[in-house]
């Protein structure tokens, strides 16, 4: 067995960009926005409306340039939304770039938004608890280290099953069993075998030698036309829109954290985002409370013929479909991009995956922490910190958050193309692709990147970067969206919104009941993915959703 998973102690250039990759080590935040904007082939005139306050220096304790990535990825998504707002019916698309409203994204605020799931607080309650690590984290293998992901119960069960351990096994039991495996062999058994997420710790050199590393694009966003449509499809925007994406209809099927950030970003700019979840899938309530802001959520079981029909009806009338499952996973259900383009010409299909749609690892599951582990990021971060650690994670889920904002930017770019060229479009962003882009920015020398302050508690965040709203969990204080768009509103008007039950089991649509902006659904689902207590749904919420007493809440909930 080769030594792919044993980190080398002799590599000489921990800050080097990926092999056969473009080096962007000299780029500032504005240059990064320019680079990504150019790759999307969007009008360059819009770039002149961008303001990026802040200094080009470490913004979080890390050797990686996370501050630059945070500010630039959020800026690209906001700038694309602002550009799209200029394409309303009646406006000249050729003049869109010149008339694009000014966009401002402060560095400090962007960095804090990259930690939003850790920086909210409920009145009378503690800030979000850390996700349990009862069995997971870094473990020593026979020839190196592996990282085990245990945030979801199915991952825990799968890990114990793979290791031949009982359900009541301890962390010590897991460590002892892992120590008998070679790292890459355990990774292969885990990733090829089902509901297990384990990856071997690698250095940059070991990652660069893998075929999957070569399969990643240099640009972090992939945009492709699925099929042509005879007539360009303009943005469905009301003329008096207060937000850039008002009128945009989005269906989101995703898991934590990256794809939900994309939906949340679109919602901040006014999109009507419906988060479709399933009672059959585990959730992480402490994360979902933050990631669901600005959205509504329903539960549908894709294995149920009735629920699948309802989902397909929604997808026939939406503008954007966001999904966060492995490439090809939804094709068996008739939900591949070509299938959806035939059913809904002009749809934009956006996919967030771990390793992208190409390469031998395209089918593998994974998460931010695991990409950091297998790609050399953890080894390089530890080497820069100089504390004799085998691995050191970054201080925030930078790959997740950047991927989400970049996916939102890609969606807006696809919608711009749809309006000017026509066609149905596919957008792809992967955690590994964003890792490659972050690495191409270079790293701060030695341990200099760690000599800066960090925000770990909600109370430490500047008050002007927070907002407080009433939610189904009580009064919630959370991080505001960091982008500002001149002349337009940005943010989440409703922390939790209730879906509308039409009282007719036959139809599902994006109708506008009684002048309200909420979707009409023939199927009422719970307010939030994390199983909020339905008892907190007030009459006011129902009225805001356009319900107006047309159903009894208890009766509607029994439909779930």
Do residues 55 and 106 make contact, with C-beta atoms less than 8 angstroms apart?
Answer: no
Mean pLDDT over 107-133 rounds to 83
Residue 3 pLDDT > 60: no
**Average confidence (pLDDT) over 342-356:** 96
Confidence of residue 535 (pLDDT cuts 50, 70, 90): very low
Higher pLDDT, residue 121 or 19? 121
pLDDT band at 10 (very low <50, low <70, confident <90, very high): very low
CA-to-CA distance for 397 and 399, rounded, in angstroms?
6
Does the pLDDT at position 14 exceed 60? no
Task: State mean pLDDT over 478-488.
Answer: 97
Mean pLDDT score, 377-384: 98
CATH T-level assignment (fold) for domain 24-91+98-129+213-485: Rossmann fold (3.40.50)
Higher pLDDT, 514 or 107: 107
Confidence (pLDDT) at 133: 59
CB 514 within 8 A of CB 546: yes
Sheet of 137-141: strands edge to edge?
137-141, 144-148, 198-200
Average pLDDT over residues 262-281: 93
Give me the residue label for tokens 């399933």.
Answer: 278
DSSP strand E in 172-221: where? 198-200
Confidence class of residue 501 from pLDDT cuts 50, 70 and 90?
very low
What's the mean pLDDT in 146-170? 93
Measured from the Cβ of residue 533, the count of other Cβ atoms closer than 10 Å reads: 11
C-beta of residue 399 within 8 angstroms of C-beta of residue 434: yes
Model confidence over 286-324: pLDDT tens digits? 898 999 999 998 999 999 999 999 999 999 999 999 999
Confidence of residue 502 (pLDDT cuts 50, 70, 90): very low
Assign 20 a pLDDT band (cuts: 50, 70, 90): low
Task: Give residue 493's pLDDT.
Answer: 76
Q: Would you state the pLDDT for residue 127?
A: 65
The ranges assigned to domains in the chain are 24-91+98-129+213-485, 137-197
Whether the pTM exceeds 0.75: the reply is yes
Residue 124 pLDDT more than 80?
Answer: no
Is the model's pLDDT at 240 over the cut of 90? no
DSSP E strands in 129-271: the ranges are: 137-141, 144-148, 198-200, 222-227, 249-253
What is the per-residue pLDDT for 185? 98
Cα separation of 126 and 141, whole Å?
Answer: 36
| Residue 227, C-beta contacts closer than 8 angstroms, at least 6 positions apart | 338, 341, 342, 345, 423, 424
- State pLDDT tens for residues 162-175: 999 999 999 999 99
- Residue 536 corresponds to which tokens in the numbers above? 């907190």
Question: Looking at the chain, how many residues does it have?
Answer: 560
Assigned token pair, 280: 């059959």
Lowest mean pLDDT among 34-48, 226-240, 478-492, 527-541: 527-541
pLDDT given for residue 514 in this prediction: 30
Torsion of CA 15, 21, 22, 27, to 10 degrees: -30
With 60 as the cut, is the pLDDT of residue 92 above it? Answer: no
Q: Give the tokens for residue 532.
A: 């909020």
Query: Could you give the percent of the chain with pLDDT greater than 90?
Result: 67
Residue 376 pLDDT > 80: yes
Q: In terms of pLDDT, which residue wins out, 282 or 97?
A: 282
Q: How confident is the model at residue 151 (pLDDT cuts 50, 70, 90)?
A: confident
Count of beta carbons in the 10 Å neighbourhood of residue 505: 11
Mean pLDDT score of the chain, rounded to an integer?
Answer: 84
Task: Give 415-430 pLDDT, tens digit per residue.
Answer: 999 999 999 999 999 9
List pLDDT tens digits, range 56-67: 899 999 999 999
């Amino acid at each position: 067995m080769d030594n792919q998973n044993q980190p080398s102690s002799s590599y000489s250039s921990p800050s080097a960009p990926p092999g056969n990759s473009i080096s962007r080590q000299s780029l500032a935040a504005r240059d990064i926005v320019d680079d990504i904007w150019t790759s999307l082939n969007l009008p360059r005139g819009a770039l002149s409306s961008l303001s990026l306050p802040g200094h080009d220096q470490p913004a979080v304790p890390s050797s990686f340039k996370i501050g630059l990535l945070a500010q630039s990825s959020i800026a690209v998504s906001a700038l694309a939304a602002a550009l799209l707002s200029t394409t309303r019916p009646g406006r000249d698309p050729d003049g869109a770039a010149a008339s694009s409203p000014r966009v401002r994204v402060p560095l400090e605020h962007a960095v804090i938004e990259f930690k939003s799931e850790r920086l909210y607080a409920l009145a009378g309650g503690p800030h979000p608890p850390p996700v349990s690590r009862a069995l997971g984290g870094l473990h020593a293998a026979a020839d190196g280290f592996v990282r085990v992901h245990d945030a979801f119960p199915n991952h825990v069960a799968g890990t114990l099953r793979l290791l031949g351990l009982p359900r009541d096994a301890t962390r010590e039991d897991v460590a002892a069993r892992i120590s008998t495996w070679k790292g890459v062999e355990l990774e292969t058994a885990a990733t090829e075998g089902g509901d297990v997420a384990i990856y071997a710790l690698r250095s940059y050199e070991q990652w660069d030698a893998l075929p999957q590393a070569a399969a990643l694009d240099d640009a972090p966003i992939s945009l492709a036309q699925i099929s042509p449509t005879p007539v360009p499809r303009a943005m469905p925007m009301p003329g008096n829109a207060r937000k850039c994406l008002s009128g945009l209809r989005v269906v989101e099927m995703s898991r934590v954290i990256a794809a939900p950030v994309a939906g949340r970003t679109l919602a901040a700019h006014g999109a009507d985002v419906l988060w479709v979840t399933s009672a059959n899938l585990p959730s992480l309530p402490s994360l979902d409370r933050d990631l669901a802001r600005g959205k509504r959520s329903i539960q549908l079981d894709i294995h149920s013929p009735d629920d699948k029909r309802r989902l397909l009806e929604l997808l026939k009338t939406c503008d954007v479909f966001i999904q966060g499952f492995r490439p090809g996973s939804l094709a068996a259900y008739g939900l591949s991009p070509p299938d959806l383009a035939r059913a809904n010409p002009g749809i934009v299909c956006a996919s967030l995956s771990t390793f992208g749609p190409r390469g031998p690892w395209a089918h593998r599951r994974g998460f931010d922490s695991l990409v950091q582990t297998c790609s050399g990021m953890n080894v390089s971060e530890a080497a820069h910190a100089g504390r004799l650690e085998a691995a050191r994670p970054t201080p925030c889920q930078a790959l997740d958050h950047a991927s989400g904002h970049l996916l939102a930017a890609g969606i807006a770019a696809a919608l711009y193309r749809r309006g000017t060229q026509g066609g149905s479009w596919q957008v792809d962003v992967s955690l590994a692709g964003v890792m490659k882009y972050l690495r191409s920015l270079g790293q701060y020398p030695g341990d200099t990147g760690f000599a800066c302050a960090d925000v770990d508690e909600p109370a430490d965040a500047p008050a002007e970067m927070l907002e407080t709203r009433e939610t189904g969990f009580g009064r919630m204080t959370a991080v505001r969206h960091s982008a500002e768009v001149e002349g337009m509103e940005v943010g989440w008007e409703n922390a939790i919104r209730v879906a509308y039950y039409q009282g007719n089991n036959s139809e599902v649509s994006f109708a506008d009941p009684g002048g309200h902006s909420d979707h009409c659904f023939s199927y009422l689902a719970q307010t939030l993915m994390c199983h909020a207590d339905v008892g907190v749904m007030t009459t006011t919420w129902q009225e805001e959703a356009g319900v107006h007493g047309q159903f009894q809440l208890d009766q509607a909930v029994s439909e779930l």
